[in-house]
Structure 1
Amino acid sequence: MSKVYIVGAGPGDKELITVKGLRAIQEADVILYDRLINMDLLEEAKEGAELIFCGKEPKLHGVIQDEIHRLLVFYAKQGKVVTRLKGGDPFIFGRGGEEGQVLSRENIPFEIVPGITSGISAAAYAGIPLTHRGISGSVSFINASNPDARTSEEWEHLAKGADTLCFYMGVRQFPKTAEYLIKAGLKPSTPVAMIHWGTFAHQKTIIGTLDTIEARLHEISNPSMIVIGDVVSLHEELQWFEQIATKQTVVTNGASV
């Protein structure tokens, strides 16, 4: 019986996928996967499963979204079990809602399998709690790919609407984002963290403020999560993952492993 699973694969650490998400990979006849998933997860696919890369990089689209929709419908109507494997969570900037709408209109059964979004997980692996008693009681998740698209009123709402701001897809445009946030009322000294390849072994975090971190942008690139707010100050005390990853690079028998 045909069915489509729209699965959040989590942020990168393969152990962060859900049990249900892993089962959807193992049961699938066809897997359509994105570029930001941990490719080790594909080793869980059953023998003979068809693996189709559907990754899209900024301004460099491998398979356009309409083609992804077509493939989902095509394989499902062949009676196959299809797993659409996405980085993070399918409903947090994952276009999972659009894919679900297409399937619904075609009367194709589907399930949404939530995943851990990078805004939460990358921050946690960098030792930054998005909420913390006495510091932050609210969080916003924001698409930062086009800062100029927002009005000054919208920027003021973002600056004043939550204690912690998590920006996705925003490294390249961050100087503009910082400028708009400062104009909207955030202090230039507001702490900022940028977390590159969050939860992967090669994760890298840089820390600064709204008015200083631009000088460090050459050290980082996409994919990176940007976290803004006073909770970033807890990074120094709570960082744990990058220390473990560094310790795991040890010399054994004269070779680095």
Structure 2
Amino acid sequence: MALLEREDAGGIATLTLNAPERLNALSDEMLAALSETLAGLEDDRDTRAVVLKGAGKAFCAGHDLRQMQAGRQAEDGGAAYFKDLFDRCTQVMLAIRALPQPVIAQVHGIATAAGCQLVATCDLAVAASDTRFGVNGVKIGLFCSTPMVALSRNVPRKQAFEMLTTGEFIDAARAQELGLVNRVVARDELDDAAQHLAASIADKLAAAVSIGKRAFYDQIEMSLADAYAFTGDVMVENLRLRDTEEGMAAFLEKRPPDWSR
């Protein structure tokens, strides 16, 4: 079976981390599979939303500690391997951000360390009510510095620092309070909830959503004045699309839009 499974339906690509015996750890092989699949999605005009989930009893338990310990056996104590590992993981996280399609994390079981980073990196997240989240590397003497980047951009500063320094888990309800996830549902409703959210996005004009996703992340790093100037230009770009013209006309004429997609 594939390490990363893909299923396509209704403009939604559902990607499943498929290493349940290793709690879907971000092994070297899993990172390679994610990198390859994300690269293929970048120019996939048939896919308008992506759902990322995990097989088995967990979403993702972070990096593969056995591989990390094996890498430590090199003459340099693992320095080159560790640097390469975190570079490759960073590229996967940046690829998710760069995709034109919104990516929804469908989370259950646990999402720890780089697995929690993966949730924080996705544009949206839906979690089962019994999910636990943590950046708990500090408990084994490894501060979760790279997961901190995504986490601290999702969760208020003091709460993120508490999670990082104590290594304690938070539950799904707390994760929603802090802004790490959008929705919390019963475990048996999780698939439907994630697919429903994805379908509500896939139903929209893909070009507009793509423009909006890119602009959302660009403007959030700007000053208020610069953000308004930038997004004004983005609105002009969006308004000049033929399909946006058709969408506005259809709204005024009270009919469904005839989008080319």
Q: Same fold by TM (over 0.5)? A: no
Q: Which has the higher helix share?
A: 2
TM-score normalised by L of structure 1: 0.26
TM-score normalised by L of structure 2: 0.25
Q: Which has the higher strand share?
A: 1
